[in-house]
Amino acid sequence: MDLLDTLVAKGLSRELPTREEAIAVLATSDEELLDVVAAAGRVRRHWFGRRVKLNYLVNLKSGLCPEDCSYCSQRLGSTAGILKYTWLKPEEAADAAAAGVAGGAKRVCLVASGRGPTDRDIDRVADTIAAIKGQSEGVEVCACLGLLSDNQAERLRAAGADAYNHNLNTSGDNYAEICTTHDFQDRVDTVQQAQAAGLSACSGLIAGMGESDADLVDVVFSLRELDPDSVPVNFLIPFEGTPLAKEWNLTPQRCLRILAMVRFVCPDVEVRLAGGREVHLRTLQPLALHLANSIFLGDYLTSEGQAGQADLDMIADAGFEVEGTDRTTLPQHRTAAAGHGGCGPCGGEESSSCATASAPACAPAEAATDAGPTAEPVTAGAARTDLVQVRRRGAGTDLPPNA
């Protein structure tokens, strides 16, 4: 296909595709899908080889959020039966993070529900960062706390945070359809605050919320303009008890086309396969590794992922390798321009998130025995509680995490 040849050439030279080219990727047929994956895979391998960065999520504070983001199980008015708890103590968070690091995590992502942190919250997170880095030397830490106020990004940087995550989620034109308590520009401003403070910026999207192809392309072009180091691609987890509980409009093939489009538009950034991959990609997850160079291992904010060891097996079986702590994630031209170590930030399910793992270690048997939800054909418009498993282990519980 002339389109794919053009997109590969542009990706290898970091040239921005046109919007028409990006939309054309989303419009390709299932018969063309393997050609699309192979083309985007060439771009991925050029910049990142066959390495897969693993990330590990610690949910510091779960539920009871005052924002009304329609996709989120922690939103105002949500009746989803998720875990709800206030701030973990620094030592509790450090212990949770250690499980991910023991499984090979290169980065730990600290997430808290809410509109944004208070200054006291920043102090809490600073103590948590110190506890994690004191217990797990060399680990990267990404914070994901919502909208930032003046000087909070600088304080997180001074406390030892390496990165900050705040997703754009959808296009500016579509944003009011999914949230009314803050707007698209609020999110852009927070990403820019993080960048100005010297934090490695992470910002991504959520697909599957009823948006158009134009919305998907627009948010990815907005991300390209913001130029974060990491772009997490989430696929909506339709939690029962949220306004989008019946938005089952993604197929595995559609997810792969979205990932390919993101890779063509953002060729040299860390593209992270984030929340919802087990639910929507299902048995095609290994193909997504040819497009994304980063994943979460284990569970997400309020939902469970597949067993950590299953992720490690998938990476090895697909011919990829886990990225070690001795490797810099981003290409040299990006790390030199940014003046940091090229750590690739977070972004995961719902309003934010992160996670990681590496070597052949996994969580205790109680936490890693299931291989993820059993997939059956998804009927559009119907709620599917069988494919969405609420997290009942790890942070905020007495059960060991799935790492």
Q: How far apart are the first and last CA of the chain?
A: 41
Please say whether the beta carbons of 260 and 300 come within 8 A. Answer: no
> Alpha helix locations (H) across 80-207?
90-102, 119-135, 152-159, 184-196
- Catalytic sites, residue numbers: 65, 69, 72, 109, 142, 202, 272
Helix or strand holding residue 19 (H, E): helix 19-26
CA atoms 118, 121, 126, 129: torsion sign = negative
Q: Which residue has the tokens 């990681």?
A: 356
Token couple for 189: 């401003």
Nearest Cα neighbor of 340 from 151, 196, 162 is 162
Helix or strand holding residue 52 (H, E): strand 51-61
Q: How would DSSP label each residue in 235-261?
A: E----TTSTTTT-----HHHHHHHHHH
Q: Cα dist. 267→39, 48, 125, 166, 219 in Å?
A: 12, 10, 32, 20, 15
Token couple for 308: 């950590």
Token couple for 367: 């936490």
HSE value, Cβ hemisphere, 13 Å, CA-based, for 120: 1
Distance CA 324, CA 329 (A): 9
Token couple for 332: 């040299």
Helix or strand holding residue 364 (H, E): none
Strand pairing of 321-322 and 270-273? Answer: unpaired
Instruction: Give me the amino acid identity at 5.
Output: D
Helix or strand holding residue 373 (H, E): none
Residue 74, helix vs strand vs coil: coil
